Amino acid sequence: MDFNQIHRIYFIGIGGIGMSALARYFHLHGKEVHGYDRTETDLTRALVAEGMKVHYTDDVSYIPQGVDLVVFTPAVPKEHTELNWFLTHGYPVKKRAEVLGIISKAKRCVAIAGTHGKTTTSTMTAYLMRACGIDASAFLGGISGNLGSNFVEGKSNWVVAEADEYDRSFLHLHPEIAVINSIDADHLDIYGSEEGVRESYQTFAGQVKAGGNLLLEQNVDLESVGALKFGIEQGDFHAENIRIEHGFMVFDLRIQVNKLPQVLTGLKLPYPGLHNVKNAVAAIACTLLAGGDADRIPAALASFKGVKRRFEVIVNTGKTVYVDDYAHHPAELEATISAARMMYPGKKLTGVFQPHLFTRTRDFADGFAAALDLLDECLLMPIYPARELPIEGVNAEMLLEKMQLKNKQLVPKNQVLEFLENHQPEVLLTMGAGDIDTLIEPIKAYLTNQ
């Protein structure tokens, strides 16, 4: 479809983080943007404030005349009334990933993939590239603290895109530089098996343009001739001499690639956890491979403000620290809890976790239980179903029974605040990808007014 033929575009699920980035792109390019989402959020309110039209009822009477393109996310249920109306009336309907693929096809694309770390790495890459002389555009899976949005328009021909494996979305991208952070099993409702996940990543790895670069995390084992490895203590780009100084992760970056600086010493990352050091190594590698100025890397990295809901420190009163994180897979929970241990040694960790999806909870129940056992105290909320119907026997109680931790309990969402009022936490973590984020402001208000 010719971009110039699109005047009015309609998004189903416009409040999604990836969808809203696309909506902002089209709006910025003078298109009239309309959309539906299930609930009003800070993000949808921001879209309306920017001039887009959003409604929250699945009703075809809200659809404007003359829609030229419909974009939907696979997270929308198949029985969605508006989506089916568009399909039966012959409108051009495309998935979000397909549209992102079309936009990025004409550009030099840096695509960040992996079960974990995509959002932090892509946001860091976009920020570092822009700070190091490459005015890149970016479509991100989170709100960047530095850029203030999940979409930014640049004047160069480079675009940074978060490459989502859900529903094989990333196979619409053909990047010049690609990162694969991890290939842990996830979305087994889509892929069926761990091998299915791996095959999809293998296909994605093969879509890197000729003459481009594929960056694989040191433990990712894919068949790819000429791939560069990154990680800690080993790889073509690797961090060494890692330590914590004055709240920063400090490390040296050794580069074993021709025509690039060999060592960057004393790099400071204001974002805790070894997993984030690895994310930073990948982001720096992308920036240098794209031609970014190496001399600007240290100052840019030290000023990185992170991503909303990625180890986001909401409150630090001295008595209580409150951190919110999007973690919703066992490996992500483990990384977040480990980062909190590293950052706040000797403090009692209280975690509030809302499992996301019945299938994911079922498929990784043992892993979730083991990760949550790393806490000192755990509050477990009911499963957030998102697009799914309940599965018999799969619930939060099942996870609780598998956990070895003594200090654990089930807490409905509306009782979390009451619990905190009766138990003063030292370090509080809220974790999950559902609607647990609606607790952030009430918890912040309570802890701030203590």
Give the pairing of strands 158-162 and 213-217.
unpaired
Residues near 292 by beta carbon (within 8 Å), at least 6 away in sequence: 128, 129, 132, 133, 134
Tens digit of each residue's pLDDT (9 = 90 or more) over 374-414: 999 999 999 999 878 899 999 999 999 999 999 999 999 99
Tens digit of each residue's pLDDT (9 = 90 or more) over 123-171: 999 999 999 999 999 999 899 999 999 999 999 999 999 988 767 778 9
Which of 73, 95, 117 is at the close of a domain? Answer: 95
Which of 302, 334, 359 is at the close of a domain? Answer: 302
Q: Are residues 157 and 245 in the same domain?
A: yes
Q: Are residues 28 and 126 in the same domain?
A: no
Q: Are residues 286 and 157 in the same domain?
A: yes
Please identify which residue in the block is written with the tokens 């990543």: 201
CATH of the domain at 146: 3.40.1190.10
What is the extent of the structural domain holding 20?
A: 3-95
Q: Are residues 89 and 27 in the same domain?
A: yes
Q: Are residues 320 and 440 in the same domain?
A: yes
CATH of the domain at 401: 3.90.190.20
- Considering its fold, how many domains does the chain have in total? 3
* Percent over 70 (pLDDT), the chain: 98
Q: Are residues 293 and 324 in the same domain?
A: no
Would you give the DSSP letter of residue 229?
E
pLDDT band at 200 (very low <50, low <70, confident <90, very high): confident
Is residue 1's pLDDT more than 70? no
| Host H or E run for residue 267 | strand 263-269
**Looking at residue 340, what is its pLDDT?**
93
Q: Which of the pair, 130 or 245, is modelled with greater confidence?
A: 130
Q: What is the mean pLDDT of the chain?
A: 92
User: Average of pLDDT values for 60-64?
Assistant: 97
How many angstroms separate the CA atoms of 426 and 319, rounded? Answer: 7
Q: Are residues 335 and 194 in the same domain?
A: no
Q: Are residues 259 and 321 in the same domain?
A: no
Q: Does residue 111 form part of some domain?
A: yes
Would you give the DSSP letter of residue 309?
T
Is residue 269's pLDDT more than 90? yes
Q: Are residues 135 and 30 in the same domain?
A: no
For the CA atoms of the chain, what is the radius of gyration? 22
How many angstroms separate the CA atoms of 35 and 12, rounded? Answer: 6
Q: Does residue 439 form part of some domain?
A: yes
Q: Does residue 307 form part of some domain?
A: no
Q: Assess contact for 293 and 276: CB atoms under 8 A.
A: no
Q: Does residue 148 form part of some domain?
A: yes
Helix axes 274-289, 118-131, angle to 10 degrees: 40
Q: Are residues 127 and 151 in the same domain?
A: yes
Q: Are residues 122 and 73 in the same domain?
A: no
Helices (H), 13-95: 17-28, 42-49, 81-88
**Looking at residue 192, what is its pLDDT?**
58
Q: Assess contact for 164 and 118: CB atoms under 8 A.
A: yes
Q: Which of the pair, 183 or 427, is modelled with greater confidence?
A: 427
Is residue 271's pLDDT more than 70? yes
Which of 69, 95, 121 is at the close of a domain? Answer: 95
CATH of the domain at 45: 3.40.50.720
Q: Are residues 170 and 262 in the same domain?
A: yes
Tens digit of each residue's pLDDT (9 = 90 or more) over 10-49: 999 999 999 999 999 999 999 999 999 998 988 999 999 9
Give the pairing of strands 408-410 and 427-431.
unpaired
